[in-house]
Amino acid sequence: MALRRVLRIDNEDDKKILKMHCRPVKLPDRTLKQLVADMIQTMHAANGVGLAAPQVGQPIQLCVIGIPSEYEEQEDGSVIEIAPAEEYVLFNPKIVKTSGEEIMRDEGCLSLPGWYGLVPRQTWVTVEFQDITGKARRLRKAGGLLGNALQHEIDHLHGVLFTERIRDLSTLRDISRESEPDPAPVA
Protein backbone atom coordinates (compact mmCIF):
# COMPACT_ATOMS: atom_id res chain seq x y z
CA MET A 1 0.00 0.00 0.00
CA ALA A 2 1.08 3.54 -0.66
CA LEU A 3 -0.21 7.00 0.07
CA ARG A 4 -1.35 8.83 -3.03
CA ARG A 5 -1.25 12.58 -3.57
CA VAL A 6 -4.74 14.07 -3.32
CA LEU A 7 -5.43 16.52 -6.13
CA ARG A 8 -6.53 20.00 -5.08
CA ILE A 9 -9.42 22.16 -6.23
CA ASP A 10 -7.23 25.27 -5.90
CA ASN A 11 -4.55 23.94 -8.31
CA GLU A 12 -5.51 24.60 -11.94
CA ASP A 13 -3.81 21.45 -13.34
CA ASP A 14 -5.40 19.26 -10.63
CA LYS A 15 -8.80 20.90 -11.14
CA LYS A 16 -8.83 19.86 -14.83
CA ILE A 17 -8.73 16.22 -13.71
CA LEU A 18 -11.21 16.78 -10.85
CA LYS A 19 -13.70 18.29 -13.30
CA MET A 20 -13.58 15.28 -15.67
CA HIS A 21 -16.54 12.96 -16.11
CA CYS A 22 -15.07 9.59 -15.11
CA ARG A 23 -15.30 6.49 -17.27
CA PRO A 24 -17.02 3.31 -16.07
CA VAL A 25 -14.85 0.43 -14.87
CA LYS A 26 -15.02 -2.97 -16.56
CA LEU A 27 -14.99 -5.65 -13.86
CA PRO A 28 -13.56 -7.89 -12.65
CA ASP A 29 -10.12 -6.29 -12.88
CA ARG A 30 -7.53 -7.60 -10.42
CA THR A 31 -5.17 -4.74 -11.18
CA LEU A 32 -7.47 -2.40 -9.25
CA LYS A 33 -6.88 -4.05 -5.84
CA GLN A 34 -3.71 -2.00 -5.30
CA LEU A 35 -5.48 1.25 -6.22
CA VAL A 36 -8.32 0.45 -3.81
CA ALA A 37 -5.86 -0.33 -0.99
CA ASP A 38 -3.91 2.87 -1.68
CA MET A 39 -7.10 4.94 -1.73
CA ILE A 40 -8.29 3.52 1.60
CA GLN A 41 -4.90 4.18 3.18
CA THR A 42 -4.79 7.72 1.73
CA MET A 43 -8.33 8.46 2.95
CA HIS A 44 -7.53 7.30 6.50
CA ALA A 45 -4.19 9.15 6.58
CA ALA A 46 -6.01 12.38 5.70
CA ASN A 47 -8.78 11.73 8.28
CA GLY A 48 -11.36 11.63 5.50
CA VAL A 49 -14.65 9.80 5.23
CA GLY A 50 -14.43 9.20 1.48
CA LEU A 51 -12.16 9.44 -1.51
CA ALA A 52 -12.96 9.24 -5.21
CA ALA A 53 -10.52 7.93 -7.83
CA PRO A 54 -10.25 11.27 -9.67
CA GLN A 55 -8.96 12.80 -6.44
CA VAL A 56 -5.86 10.62 -6.84
CA GLY A 57 -5.59 11.27 -10.57
CA GLN A 58 -7.56 8.25 -11.85
CA PRO A 59 -10.60 9.31 -13.96
CA ILE A 60 -12.56 6.11 -13.31
CA GLN A 61 -15.85 5.46 -11.51
CA LEU A 62 -14.50 4.23 -8.20
CA CYS A 63 -14.84 5.60 -4.70
CA VAL A 64 -14.13 4.40 -1.19
CA ILE A 65 -15.96 5.40 1.97
CA GLY A 66 -14.98 4.78 5.59
CA ILE A 67 -17.60 5.47 8.25
CA PRO A 68 -15.98 5.63 11.70
CA SER A 69 -17.22 3.68 14.71
CA GLU A 70 -19.81 5.33 16.92
CA TYR A 71 -19.31 5.41 20.66
CA GLU A 72 -21.57 6.26 23.57
CA GLU A 73 -20.61 7.25 27.10
CA GLN A 74 -22.42 5.30 29.79
CA GLU A 75 -23.64 6.64 33.13
CA ASP A 76 -20.65 5.07 34.89
CA GLY A 77 -18.26 6.99 32.61
CA SER A 78 -17.27 4.02 30.50
CA VAL A 79 -17.47 4.27 26.72
CA ILE A 80 -18.90 1.51 24.54
CA GLU A 81 -18.97 1.07 20.80
CA ILE A 82 -22.58 1.24 19.57
CA ALA A 83 -21.85 0.93 15.84
CA PRO A 84 -18.72 -0.57 14.27
CA ALA A 85 -16.67 1.17 11.59
CA GLU A 86 -17.75 0.35 8.04
CA GLU A 87 -15.83 0.52 4.77
CA TYR A 88 -17.33 0.59 1.30
CA VAL A 89 -15.67 0.16 -2.10
CA LEU A 90 -17.99 1.20 -4.91
CA PHE A 91 -17.39 0.78 -8.63
CA ASN A 92 -19.72 2.46 -11.12
CA PRO A 93 -22.08 3.80 -8.41
CA LYS A 94 -25.38 5.38 -9.41
CA ILE A 95 -27.99 7.09 -7.26
CA VAL A 96 -31.24 5.37 -8.25
CA LYS A 97 -33.61 6.83 -5.67
CA THR A 98 -33.62 9.84 -3.35
CA SER A 99 -35.66 11.00 -0.37
CA GLY A 100 -36.91 14.08 -2.18
CA GLU A 101 -36.09 16.05 0.99
CA GLU A 102 -32.97 18.15 1.43
CA ILE A 103 -30.91 18.83 4.50
CA MET A 104 -28.12 21.39 4.76
CA ARG A 105 -24.91 19.78 5.99
CA ASP A 106 -21.53 21.24 6.81
CA GLU A 107 -19.25 19.56 4.31
CA GLY A 108 -15.57 19.56 3.46
CA CYS A 109 -13.35 17.85 0.91
CA LEU A 110 -9.87 16.35 0.97
CA SER A 111 -9.24 18.27 -2.27
CA LEU A 112 -9.71 21.56 -0.38
CA PRO A 113 -8.30 20.83 3.10
CA GLY A 114 -9.61 22.91 5.97
CA TRP A 115 -12.50 24.49 4.05
CA TYR A 116 -16.15 23.75 4.88
CA GLY A 117 -19.48 25.06 3.70
CA LEU A 118 -23.20 24.29 3.92
CA VAL A 119 -24.19 21.92 1.11
CA PRO A 120 -27.75 20.77 0.37
CA ARG A 121 -27.99 16.98 0.23
CA GLN A 122 -30.84 14.49 0.08
CA THR A 123 -31.70 13.06 3.52
CA TRP A 124 -31.18 9.56 2.08
CA VAL A 125 -30.24 7.92 -1.20
CA THR A 126 -30.39 4.43 -2.68
CA VAL A 127 -27.25 3.59 -4.63
CA GLU A 128 -26.54 0.73 -7.02
CA PHE A 129 -22.91 -0.19 -7.61
CA GLN A 130 -20.57 -3.08 -8.31
CA ASP A 131 -18.08 -4.61 -5.92
CA ILE A 132 -14.53 -5.42 -7.04
CA THR A 133 -15.65 -8.80 -8.43
CA GLY A 134 -18.26 -7.10 -10.62
CA LYS A 135 -21.20 -8.29 -8.54
CA ALA A 136 -24.15 -5.86 -8.48
CA ARG A 137 -24.87 -4.40 -5.05
CA ARG A 138 -27.31 -1.91 -3.58
CA LEU A 139 -27.31 0.36 -0.54
CA ARG A 140 -30.92 1.16 0.31
CA LYS A 141 -31.98 4.42 1.92
CA ALA A 142 -28.49 5.35 3.09
CA GLY A 143 -28.78 8.42 5.30
CA GLY A 144 -26.65 10.32 7.76
CA LEU A 145 -22.91 10.45 7.18
CA LEU A 146 -22.99 7.51 4.74
CA GLY A 147 -25.73 9.08 2.61
CA ASN A 148 -23.88 12.39 2.54
CA ALA A 149 -20.57 10.73 1.65
CA LEU A 150 -22.20 8.73 -1.15
CA GLN A 151 -23.64 11.89 -2.71
CA HIS A 152 -20.33 13.75 -2.35
CA GLU A 153 -18.22 10.94 -3.85
CA ILE A 154 -20.63 10.24 -6.73
CA ASP A 155 -20.52 13.97 -7.52
CA HIS A 156 -16.71 13.66 -7.84
CA LEU A 157 -17.17 10.89 -10.43
CA HIS A 158 -19.20 13.33 -12.54
CA GLY A 159 -16.78 16.24 -12.15
CA VAL A 160 -18.95 18.10 -9.63
CA LEU A 161 -17.13 19.71 -6.69
CA PHE A 162 -18.77 20.38 -3.33
CA THR A 163 -18.06 24.09 -3.70
CA GLU A 164 -20.36 24.11 -6.75
CA ARG A 165 -23.23 22.76 -4.63
CA ILE A 166 -22.98 25.50 -2.01
CA ARG A 167 -25.91 27.89 -2.45
CA ASP A 168 -24.66 30.57 -0.05
CA LEU A 169 -20.91 31.03 -0.54
CA SER A 170 -20.74 33.06 2.68
CA THR A 171 -20.97 29.68 4.49
CA LEU A 172 -17.65 28.57 2.91
CA ARG A 173 -14.97 29.11 5.51
CA ASP A 174 -11.45 28.04 6.39
CA ILE A 175 -11.80 26.28 9.74
CA SER A 176 -8.05 25.90 10.15
CA ARG A 177 -8.23 29.52 11.33
CA GLU A 178 -10.97 28.73 13.87
CA SER A 179 -10.33 27.44 17.38
CA GLU A 180 -13.07 24.77 17.50
CA PRO A 181 -12.32 21.14 16.53
CA ASP A 182 -12.49 20.18 12.86
CA PRO A 183 -15.50 18.24 11.62
CA ALA A 184 -14.45 15.19 9.60
CA PRO A 185 -13.98 16.05 5.93
CA VAL A 186 -16.12 13.99 3.60
CA ALA A 187 -13.70 13.36 0.81
Q: Which residues are known catalytic residues?
A: 153
Q: What whole-number distance in Å separates Cα of residue 106 and Cα of residue 112?
A: 14
- 3-state secondary structure at position 165: helix
Taking alpha carbons only, the member of 95, 32, 37, 89 closest to residue 66 is 89
DSSP 23: B
For the chain, the residue count is 187
Taking alpha carbons only, the member of 144, 162, 138 closest to residue 152 is 162
Q: What whole-number distance in Å separates Cα of residue 97 and Cα of residue 132?
A: 23
